[in-house]
Structure 1
Amino acid sequence: MLKLGLIGKGISRSQSARLHVLLGRMCGIEVTYDYLDSEKIADFDLIGQLTVCAKDGYAGVNVTHPYKTEARKLIQRRKRLPEALGAVNTVVFREDGWRGDNTDYVGFMRGYRGQFGDQAPGTVLQMGAGGVGLAAAFGLHGLGADRILIHDKDADRGHELVATLKAGGANVAFIAEADLSDAIRNADGLINCTPVGMNQYPGSPIDAALLGGQKWAFDAVYTPVETAFLHSAQKAGLSVMTGFELFFFQGIEAFEVFSGAQIDGDAARIEYFNAYPEALTG
């Protein structure tokens, strides 16, 4: 049996359990996956909860908002994780110590290559500098983006991400509101890493009138899968990648880390949509 879990705050709507259980079934591994919600655990403490999980036989846990940054400070990173990437969303408990990974980062790159092949990202304008924005931006750097342009309504947070990316060697700049429209028009790729477009936050972070000259777009939102932003981007002739790809591949990457198995992404996609057809629409 492979005992897994998710640590986070307000995580009752997470779809991680059903993905990991399905991947286990594909590999002939019985998987249990528990939701360890800090809102429901008295006197919650991250290091304390991780210690309990390790003692209780968990192979590893996923870590989500708002504990990814704290987890990175506590846990030794796996070698493939850039040193400057200050967030961990996957923790593996090993006899020689705990190891941290960020499968949002590697999952974004795997999803991008699956969707766009060897197409270079070019110059990319990214909306949002939060947790998923951090992973996506480092993923862009890993994919060889020529230049990464960051915009966030919270300018301090945006500048912080820019500084972090520069420390990792990226060619990056912050884009202020006054320069945003021109940056969108001139970009090769557009990314939404804000909550705008989610079922509870309808709309698009980018004016559809600015779309048309770019090559590709990605929306980290996956509920719904087809967001207003991606609908407009596709209508304007852009190739698109949905937020489901990030959810799907970060989950596969995490399961591979936990189990040591290698997952066929195409086969897993078929199995997942057969089991959960509603995931196609979010």
Structure 2
Amino acid sequence: MLKLGLIGKGISRSQSARLHVLLGRMCGIDVTYDYLDSEKIADFDLIGQLTACAKDGYAGVNVTHPYKTAARKLIQRRKRLPEALGAVNTVVFREDGWRGDNTDYVGFMRGYRGQFGDQAPGTVLQMGAGGVGLAVAFGLHGLGADRILIHDKDADRGHELVATLKAGGANVAFIAEADLSDAIRNADGLINCTPVGMNQYPGSPIDAALLGGQKWAFDAVYTPVETAFLHSAQKAGLSVMTGFELFFFQGIEAFEVFSGTQIDGDAARVEYFNAYPEALTG
């Protein structure tokens, strides 16, 4: 039995449990996956919850909003996690201590390569500097992006991400609102790491009139999979990558860390869509 869970706030709509249970079934492993929602736990405390999970026999847990940064400060990183990447979304409990990883980071790179092959990211404009934005931006750096341009309505948060990326060696700059339209038009790639486009936040973070001439687009939103942003990008001739790819590959990466197994991504995709065909559209 592999006991897993997810720690976060307002996580009732997460699809992580069904993905991890399915991956376990593919490997012949019985998996349980619990949602540990801080909104439903009295006097919630992250270190206390992690300690309780370790004592209760969990092999590991995923950590999501708003606790990824706090988890990074508590947990020794794994070797593949960039030193400057200040967020952890996967915690493994070992006898010799807890280990942290960020599978959003490696999952984004794996999804990008699967979708776009060896195509270089080029100059990329990213909307959003929150937790997933942090991981995706480091993924862009790992993929060899020429330049990363960050915009966030919270300028302080945007500048903080820029400083973090610079500390990691990236060529990066913050884009103010006044310069945003030109940056979008001149970019090779466009990324949405804001909640805009989710079922509860409909719309697109980028005006469709600015699309055309760029090469590719990615939307971290995966509920729905077919977002207004990606629909407009595809209509304008861009190649697109959906948020499902990030969800899927970060989940596979996390399961591999938890279980010590290797997952055939193509086989897992077939199994998942056979079991949950609605995931194709969100």
TM-score category by the smaller chain? over 0.9
- Distance in 2, matches of 1:195 and 1:37, equals 20
SS at match of 2:240: strand
1:141-183 deviation line (CA, Å, top 9, x unaligned): 0000000000001111100000000000000000001111110
1:14 CA drift (Å): 0.6
Q: Percent identity?
A: 98
Cα distance, 1:40 vs. partner?
Answer: 1.2
Q: Deviations over 1:11-41 (max 9, x none)?
A: 1111000000000000000000011111111
Per-residue deviation, 1:264: 0.7
TM-score where L is the length of structure 1: 0.99
Offset, 1:110: 0.3
- Residue 67 of structure 1 and its aligned partner are, at CA, apart by 0.6
Partner residue, 1:74: 74
How far residue 114 of structure 1 moved from its aligned partner, in angstroms, is: 0.3
Alpha-carbon separation, structure 2, partners of 1:76 and 1:228: 39
Structure 2 counterparts to residues 77-116 of structure 1, below 5 A: 77-116=77-116
**C-alpha distance in 2 between matches for 1:145 and 1:207:** 23
Q: Which range moves more in the overlay, 38-47 or 101-110?
A: 38-47
Report SS of the residue matched to 1:274.
helix
Q: CA offset at residue 91 of structure 1?
A: 0.1
Measured against aligned partners, the alpha-carbon deviations of 1:232-268 in whole angstroms (never above 9, x if no partner) come to: 1001110000000000000000000000110111110
CA-to-aligned-CA distance 1:204-244 (integer Å, 9 cap, x gap): 11111111110000000001101010001001110000000
**Deviation of residue 43 (structure 1)?**
1.2
Q: Deviation per CA, 1:104-131, whole angstroms, max 9, x where unpaired?
A: 0000000000000000000000000001
Matches within 5 A, 1:113-192: 113-192=113-192
Cα distance in 2 for partners of 1:266, 1:118 equals 18
TM-superposed deviation, 1:101: 0.3
Q: Distance in 2 between matches of 1:126 and 1:40?
A: 33
Q: CA offsets, 1:191-216, max 9 Å, x none?
A: 00011111111111111111111000
Alpha carbon RMSD of aligned pairs, Å?
0.5
Gaps of 5+ in 2: none
Using the alignment, how far apart are the partners of 1:5 and 1:222 within structure 2? 20
2:21 aligns to what? 21
Q: Number of residues paired by the alignment? A: 282
Structure 1: runs of 5 or more not aligned: none
In the TM superposition, what is the alpha-carbon distance from 1:281 to its structure 2 partner? 0.8
Partner in structure 2 of residue 227 of structure 1: 227
Cα distance in structure 2, aligned partners of 1:24 and 1:96: 25
Segments of 4+ in structure 1 off by > 4 A? none
Tell me, what secondary structure is at the counterpart of 1:86?
coil
Structure 1: how far apart are the matches of 2:256 and 2:267?
15
Q: Secondary structure at the match of 2:33?
A: strand
- Equivalents in 1 of 2:52, 2:35: separation in Å? 14
